Amino acid sequence: MHNCTNEPLIIVSFTVNWAERGDDEFVKTTTRRTVEQIDAVAAANKTGHRYRYLNYCAEWQRPFKGYGEENLRFLQRVSRRYDPEGLFQRGCVGGFKLNVMNDDA
């Protein structure tokens, strides 16, 4: 990957458990707000980083954006070359996709 930094990086994963389905939206909203506040403080202190560990991301996060524009475009080109019909982008359930058809990941 190009344009990677050699600076230290801390990766955080939230594990949240709750008993009632009725609390789903509250927990998701609260968790998202918390992560966004942490990101804002990190950015204000110039300690934030664009990278997001794919396996720890919530569905609202965009981990491929953290790879940098050049790296993202490279992955999309490789996907189009070796999977021109988009089987792995459209045919696999769940997970994050490169969105090679509209170049937005």
Note whether residue 101 is domain-resident: no
Asked if residue 76 belongs to a domain, the reply is no
Q: pTM (2 decimals)?
A: 0.74
What is the per-residue pLDDT across 29-47, written as a single tens digit (0 to 9) for each? 999 999 999 999 999 999 8
- Among 44, 41, 53, residue whose Cα is nearest residue 10: 53
In a domain, 36, yes or no: yes
Place of tokens 């997001």: 52
Kindly state whether residue 77 falls inside one of the protein's structural domains. Answer: no
| Cα separation, 100 vs 105, whole angstroms | 8
Number of domains into which the chain is organized: 1
Which pLDDT does position 33 carry in this prediction? 97
Domain containing 17: what range? 1-49
Checking if the pLDDT of 103 tops 50, the result is: no
In-domain check, residue 91: no
In a domain, 30, yes or no: yes
